[in-house]
Amino acid sequence: MPGKLKVKIVAGRHLPVMDRASDLTDAFVEVKFGNTTFKTDVYLKSLNPQWNSEWFKFEVDDEDLQDEPLQITVLDHDTYSANDAIGKVYIDIDPLLYSEAATVISGWFPIYDTIHGIRGEINVIVKVDLFNDLNRFRQSSCGVKFFCTTSIPKCYRAVIIHGFVEELVVNEDPEYQWIDRIRTPRASNEARQRLISLMSGELQRKIGLKVLEMRGNAVVGYLQCFDLEGESGLVVRAIGTACTLDKLSSPAAFLPACNSPSKEMKEIPFNEDPNPNTHSSGPSTPLKNQTYSFSPSKSYSRQSSSSDTDLSLTPKTAPYPQGPRIYLCPSSPPLSCGSLHLKKSCLLLSESSLPPHHSSLGSPVLRKSVSFSEELFLAASGMGSGSAGKEGGPFKALLRQQTQSALEQRGGSPHRFCKRREFPFFTLTAFPPGFLVHVGGVVSARSVKLLDRIHNPAFVGIMGNTRSYKLLDWNSFNSDEPETRDAWWAEIRQEIKSHAKALGCHAVVGYSESTSICEEVCILSASGTAAVLNPRFLQDGTLEGCLEQRLEENLPVGCGFCHIPYDELNMPFPAHLTYCYNCRKQKVPDVLFTTIDLPTDATVVGKGCLIQARLCRLKKKAQAEANATAISNLLPFMEYEVHTQLMNKLKLKGMNALFGLRIQITVGENMLMGLASATGVYLAALPTPGGIQIAGKTPNDGSYEQHISHMQKKINDTIAKNKELYEINPPETSEELIGSPIPEPRQHSRLLRSQSESSDEVTELDLSHGKKDAFVLEIDDTDALEDVHSLLTDVPPPPGFYSCNTEIMPGINNWTSEIQMFTSVRVTRLSSLNLTNQALNKNFNDLCENLLKSLYFKLRSMIPCCLCHVNFTVSLPEDELIQVTVTAVAITFDKNQALQTTKTHVEKSLQRASTDNEELLQFPLELCSDSIPSHPFPPAKAVTVEKASPMGEGNFRNRSAPPCANSTVGVVKMTPLSFIPGAKITKYLGIINMFFIRETTSLREEGGVSGFLHAFIAEVFAMVRAHVAALGGNAVVSYIMKQCVFMENPNKNQAQCLINVSGDAVVFVRESDLEVVSTQHPTANCQPLCAGGEVTT
Amino acid sequence: MTSELDIFVGNTTLIDEDVYRLWLDGYSVSDAVALRVRSGILEQTGATAAVLQSDTMDHYRTFHMLERLLHAPPKLLHQLIFQIPPSRQALLIERYYAFDEAFVREVLGKKLSKGTKKDLDDISTKTGITLKSCRRQFDNFKRVFKVVEEMRGSLVDNIQQHFLLSDRLSRDYAAIVFFANNRFETGKKKLQYLSFGDFAFCAELMIQNWTLGAVGEAPTDPDSQVDDMDVDLDKEFLQDLKELKVLVADKDLLDLHKSLVCTTLRGKLTVFSEMEANFKNLSRGLVNVAAKLTHNKDVRDLFVDLVEKFVEPCRSDHWPLADVRLFLNQYSASVHSLDGFRHQALWDRYMGTLRGCLLRLYHD
């Protein structure tokens, strides 16, 4: 289906001098799309050419529209020799392909050259005329919206959340081709940029196709990554969550959706699906679901067999050697090696680590996977299932089944099922109210693979000509090429799925995937949070009213998600369970680890804080197979230690839950690095954490004893101090309340339970015992001593600073509009002399701590402020180099209001109610501000410039106002968060996904490595902002720097860096320019982020 | 463990005013860190010296990258690489173009050439301003000079347009450019008591009254060759000034002038007798200065002459400033009553400016 792409080149400015003789440039522009190229006239002798070209028209397939970027090259005309390239601009025209986003791309783009960086700017206008009958088409997926945001975008409503979509494409890396030896670095870099741009386009189109097949219209939580595998190629892969979204049209819809869950529920018309699924078998009654039940069981058996067999079979099936897989799943048969207890803790980060009882492992999975239909039958007929441990059992089973079937049914035609419905994963980290029913805990899986050349007879090399790129879709080679990247990921996902099963969960939320590559070894990692979801959002069909009712009565606000989803009798791992401290009806674990954001309705005591576990492990240098084996042997130990560190630090902070947990394992030549970041909070629903108790091994030694008690005291002091710092003082609960085994209202339901009750009591006894038992740290060697020391060396942030790696800081809700997004990079060289594990750990720890300290210092003018979405990435570019990259946003909050932060649950809910009211009251104001033209940066800026240069008293002559003041560049905010404090996002303009390479052969002249990278990152920011502004936006949300690969060769005075960033371009409108606050704190508003004029108006 | 690379890049470029000042003052990173440590910032923030070092390096790098843009301030406004709020942009520019009084007194009226640049070492030692800072200030002068030298239109406006400086700073630069162009001598020992402000004041008056632009001819004749209307003195006017010589050459006219002034001022001056005695000397001095302005050499010595011929004699007789003002007013006004004198307009254009300058120059 053709569409018409129209491009106009308007003007250039600040061009570099290309002709030394005249100090001027004879510039012209080539506009290229696909195979077609147009040229403008040469504009002679100017650094600010005005081409004002005609409209260049490209008639192209919409498939190409999606895949290809528009390529604009600015050149200097040279009569006698070849024309010199000044630089290029790649414009992704995808945002123009769906109706609600941008309609035109118009603005100044930095002209970028991979060797020289930004060289001037060019003004371009791009439009697309699309013909209307898109749906006939299956190769293109125009119209599917993409969002990086990992929650339902603010001005949309989720009708259905379909589920996981993934895709990957593979190609040869131009940098590693023979031709690279003879072409210039610039040509090589450009070939790479172009290829990746093309591959991203194709990937996005393919994902879009899958979404259309699922009858969705959007991908939320879209995460695209590159694996630079070197010799073996280039992999671009993406995952996301397919949804059907509805644009909220009325302004009322801008109210936060979480105000009243019940109201929200009624609002959702279950049968209003705009794309009624014609393939599905209508409304899904439980019995209808049976139709498909053969499929799940089939897939389950496949899964269980895979986990059974992989261990032994892998070496046989793999065509070439491969490192052993790591099994984190308790359902895998016990391994003969002695490290089983390690594996257990790797998997179930949600639970305390007591010695595991393997006897119970495996059974829950088995039961659930085979006997689904049976369970369903029991539940449907209203009889209690004997195996369900509590009154909620049958209900839970029903719920689980429904969701399960919803998940499985959504594939549309059943024959697609196997391929599509395999993974009930969601890349979302925040959910519509009521979506998340229970959270089981973190599930993760890693696998070590050996990379080999992606060879295929069908592959055609890249010879520099765009059209000869042969993009291979490895899906199509699955049958004859089993060891593809696709299969690798499928394996990992399968494992994650089975872990979730073991936790009694049918879904995984907050799911993400990552890789770490060093030479030919690659670690694939996936992690997520096992969860039970409300099927309401997952299926197109109707839902029984009774279920909804039960749902509500069973989900007390603020604690429902903490309740365990698994059966307490058949717990997949040992854990302390208590009755929920909030509702006292259901069981909760003593500690909860998750990869998602804190649910909005969760009740939290005090504030949260960033908790990091850092770890290094030395590894012998080895080749291929031996290397992979060494790595996979180390992995479980690392996971265990990371987990222990997290647990200790959490206890030290006096908190009981981790959100946004992200564990990154990085592989290098001679070491492995582990970095886990999460936000610790005190959930009111979970029990108060016990302290940390230190136990020595040699109790008779007097001085040793003294040392121990000294340390014990220090630890206790730290805990007390932290509790004060983070305002953790939960309401005192009387022992009897907790102790009373079963609260009154539950009596009637006990009828359903039979023999399970007695055991219930047992658990409880055990529990109360466990609760008093402090977490014991045994100091039996120097290593352990180090650990305890390192625990105590973590310095809290300076007063006025908070930090977290989730979207927002629990306990702070009065953000001002002052935000500052930043990226900080550090590379440290380790001296090879002291390479011991301890020294490494200390170095790494210091590196991270110093980096944080530096951030606090730099941002001190923003106090009181919180660093949100702190995202650390570690890489090991060379033998002795550690690179840490941090991206985060600092947000200032209002201290005065912060002081009023309520401490008890009751007050808190009261306050919440009052804010609800406020929001209602604000509503008319919002109407006003919405009606203001969408450009929130009026030309008022001229005022500020004048202000700075006051036209004073003695103005002797009539002076014209300072020129150019009205044409300053519009401010574009960037934030890794999905929202902008104090503002409403009114429109999503499309996804920004950019890849840049920068190289230099004059490193010293550009200020060394720091100067080089500093300039490059600033340029990347500038290019992102320019693209957003050209789309008509004024902010990027959910911004992420996915890759920052830096390589240097100081001896040759060279360096190269690759950066990949993405985010959502949006238009936001300030919530209230009218608010009194701005006049009260005029100084606070002279922030660096808002144009001064904007504040004063 | 050493940091190979250490950077911080904000979406909004962080500008630390204190560090910017240190950078402008030409301190090296290590000196700047030492100065910051001395300011007690470590105690206030609880930071370590390493943190301070890294922070300072970061800021210096940013400033270094911004410097290229600061050379053409409108570029700073249009560029896309650094997102800086307008108020901060103005601050960056204003501070960058600000200069030290001590420095400007050294180079005011000198040719902004390579030769002068070589003397910066001496100026640096003499003034205690770092050589780096001297270079920046000198280059700023030179840059502004080069851009506006050949430009038509109001000098101050041109500077403001092309460098986006505040009104105050634009006027100062106008004075610097004007002095550099006309090479007025300001370095003589006699003139050491004068501040940059004194000269700038005079420059402004002279630009307003003595240049081509002051007459407002240009708009009517856009094709004329007189390009730099505000920078060069009106040659025709200077030629005409010779006509004033009659005031001292014609004995009758001089006596009449003296009697007119003395009659009016009798009893009003505390130094009347001294005035009466000195009148002819003073008048000769002032008129001769005017008559000599046809020669470039004498134009350069304008301030030396004014101080020698008028300021010093009056000061040696301890004239109070009020008396100087009364005298000068009366001295220029009474020329209107001299019937035989035909160059009233010329006299006013000359004396109006000169009176302002002399009053400003008359202090200790």
From A825, A843, A1022, residue closest to B81, measured CB to CB: A1022
Q: How far is CA A218 from CA A144, A210, A211, in A?
A: 5, 10, 7
SS3 per residue for A243-276: EEEEECCCHHHHCCCCCCHHHHHHHCCCCCCCCC
Chain B, 118 to 177: residues with Cβ < 8 Å from chain A are 154, 156-157, 160-161, 164-170
Q: From the CA of B127, how many Å to the nearest CA of chain A?
A: 29
The helix/strand/coil state of A927 is helix
Got the DSSP string for A785-826? HHHHHHHHHPPPPPTTEEE-SSSS-TT---EEEEEEEEEEEE
What are the tens digits of pLDDT across the range A425-482?
A: 999 888 887 788 888 889 999 999 888 754 443 333 333 333 333 334 444 433 334 3
Which of B226, B183, B227, B174 has the alpha carbon at shortest distance from B204?
Answer: B174
Q: From the CA of A191, how many Å to the nearest CA of chain B?
A: 25
With an 8 Å Cβ cutoff, are A821 and B91 in contact?
no
Residues of A in contact with B77 (CB under 8 A): 964-965, 967-969
What are the tens digits of pLDDT across the range A1007-1026?
A: 889 999 999 999 999 999 99
Interface check A249 vs B, CB under 8 A: no
Position A779 scores a pLDDT of 60
CA atoms within 13 A on the CB side of A1005: 7
Interface check A111 vs B, CB under 8 A: no
Which residue's entry shows tokens 């030769």? B115
Residue B1 CB-density burial (10 A; 0-12 exposed, 13-18 middle, 19+ buried):
middle
Under 8 Å between Cβ of A14 and B77:
no
Position A180 scores a pLDDT of 67
With an 8 Å Cβ cutoff, are A108 and B65 in contact?
no
Q: Rounded to whole angstroms, how far apart are CA atoms A844 and A881?
A: 11
AA identity, residue A372: F
Residues of A in contact with B62 (CB under 8 A): 1014
Position A713 scores a pLDDT of 83
With an 8 Å Cβ cutoff, are A1088 and B84 in contact?
yes
Q: From the CA of A963, how many Å to the nearest CA of chain B?
A: 6
Which of B293, B294, B291 has the alpha carbon at shortest distance from B302?
Answer: B293
Q: How far is CA A139 from the centre of its chain?
A: 29
Q: From the CA of B37, how many Å to the nearest CA of chain A?
A: 14
Q: From the CA of A864, how many Å to the nearest CA of chain B?
A: 13
From B5, B88, B208, residue closest to A956, measured CB to CB: B208
Supply the Cα-derived Rg of chain A in whole angstroms.
Answer: 29
Interface check A171 vs B, CB under 8 A: no
With an 8 Å Cβ cutoff, are A1092 and B50 in contact?
no
Phi-psi region of A140 (alpha: psi -120 to 50; beta: other; left: phi over 0): beta
Q: Rounded to whole angstroms, how far apart are CA atoms A32 and A58?
A: 9
Chain A, 916 to 935: residues with Cβ < 8 Å from chain B are none
Interface check A419 vs B, CB under 8 A: no
Helix (DSSP H) and strand (DSSP E) numbers for chain A: 25, 31
Under 8 Å between Cβ of B92 and A1035:
no
- Residue A778, H or E segment: strand A775-779
Q: How far is CA A899 from CA A48, A893, A895, A975, in A?
A: 54, 11, 6, 26
Spatial CB neighbours of B291, under 8 Å, sequence gap ≥ 6: B241, B242, B244, B245
Got the DSSP string for A716-776? HHHHHHHHHHTT--PPP--HHHHHSSS-GGGGGGGGG--THHHHHHHHHHHHHHHHHSPEE
Structure tokens at B95: 């501070």
Which of A511, A399, A436, A433 has the alpha carbon at shortest distance from A165?
Answer: A511
Q: How many CB atoms lie within 10 A of CB A443?
A: 31
Q: From the CA of A815, how many Å to the nearest CA of chain B?
A: 18
Query: Per-residue confidence at B63, pLDDT binned at 50, 70, 90?
Result: very high
Which of A889, A980, A898, A577 has the alpha carbon at shortest distance from A760?
Answer: A577
Q: How far is CA B238 from CA A434, B254, B290, in A?
A: 89, 22, 8
Structure tokens at B112: 């902004």
Q: Rounded to whole angstroms, how far apart are CA atoms A390 and A402?
A: 19
What are the tens digits of pLDDT across the range A851-899?
A: 999 999 999 988 888 999 999 999 998 878 899 999 999 999 887 654 4
Position B114 scores a pLDDT of 80
- Residue A995, H or E segment: strand A983-1000
Q: How far is CA A701 from the centre of its chain?
A: 50
Please calculate the CA angle A587-A588-A589 and round it to the nearest 5 degrees.
130
Q: Rounded to whole angstroms, how far apart are CA atoms B151 and A973?
A: 39
Q: Rounded to whole angstroms, how far apart are CA atoms B41 and B19?
A: 12
From B54, B83, B157, residue closest to A854, measured CB to CB: B54
Q: DSSP character for B233? A: B
Interface check B235 vs A, CB under 8 A: no
With an 8 Å Cβ cutoff, are B7 and A1014 in contact?
yes
AA identity, residue A552: E
From A121, A826, A854, residue closest to B51, measured CB to CB: A854
Residues of B in contact with A941 (CB under 8 A): 86
Under 8 Å between Cβ of A1071 and A929:
yes
Interface check A826 vs B, CB under 8 A: yes
With an 8 Å Cβ cutoff, are B81 and A965 in contact?
no
From A118, A858, A1011, residue closest to B81, measured CB to CB: A118
Segments in chain A below pLDDT 70: 1, 99-101, 132-141, 178-180, 249-421, 453-483, 537-558, 568-575, 696-702, 731-787, 789-791, 793, 832-834, 896-968, 1072-1097
Q: DSSP character for B341? A: -
Under 8 Å between Cβ of A90 and A71:
yes
Q: Rounded to whole angstroms, how far apart are CA atoms B304 and B189?
A: 10
Chain A, 1000 to 1059: residues with Cβ < 8 Å from chain B are 1007, 1009-1011, 1013-1015, 1017-1019, 1021-1023, 1025-1026, 1046
Position A699 scores a pLDDT of 57
Residues of B in contact with A1009 (CB under 8 A): 4-5
Q: What pairing do the DSSP bridges indicate for beta strands A973-974 and A1035-1049?
A: parallel
If one compares B104 and A293, the residue with the highest pLDDT of the two is B104
Chain B, 92 to 111: residues with Cβ < 8 Å from chain A are 94
Q: Rounded to whole angstroms, how far apart are CA atoms B361 and B186?
A: 12
What are the tens digits of pLDDT across the range A615-657?
A: 888 888 888 788 888 898 889 889 888 988 898 888 888 888 9
Q: Rounded to whole angstroms, how far apart are CA atoms A676 and A595?
A: 11
ipTM of model? 0.89
> What b/e string do you get for A511-530 counting C-beta neighbours within 10 Å, with b at 16 or more?
bbbbbbbbbbbbbbbbbbbb
Interface check A108 vs B, CB under 8 A: yes
Least confident of A359-373, A987-1001, B121-135, B265-279: A359-373
Q: Rounded to whole angstroms, how far apart are CA atoms B132 and B24?
A: 8
Structure tokens at A38: 């147009």
From B14, B57, B86, residue closest to A944, measured CB to CB: B86
Q: From the CA of A511, how many Å to the nearest CA of chain B?
A: 28
From A856, A1014, A1086, residue closest to B61, measured CB to CB: A1014
Chain B interface mutation, best of A1021, A1028, A1086, highest count of B Cβ atoms under 10 Å: A1021
From A821, A826, A950, residue closest to B167, measured CB to CB: A950
Q: How many CB atoms lie within 10 A of CB B144?
A: 23
Q: How far is CA B151 from the centre of its chain?
A: 18
The helix/strand/coil state of A883 is strand
Structure tokens at A598: 């804190």
Interface check B39 vs A, CB under 8 A: no
From A822, A959, A968, residue closest to B10, measured CB to CB: A822
Q: Rounded to whole angstroms, how far apart are CA atoms A121 and A125?
A: 13
Q: DSSP character for B245? A: G
Q: What pairing do the DSSP bridges indicate for beta strands A692-696 and A775-779?
A: parallel
Position A1037 scores a pLDDT of 94
Q: How far is CA A231 from the centre of its chain?
A: 29
Residues of A in contact with B48 (CB under 8 A): 850, 853
Q: From the CA of B96, how many Å to the nearest CA of chain A?
A: 14
| Nearest-by-CA chain A residue for B74 | A964
Residues of B in contact with A869 (CB under 8 A): none
AA identity, residue B94: E
Interface check A620 vs B, CB under 8 A: no
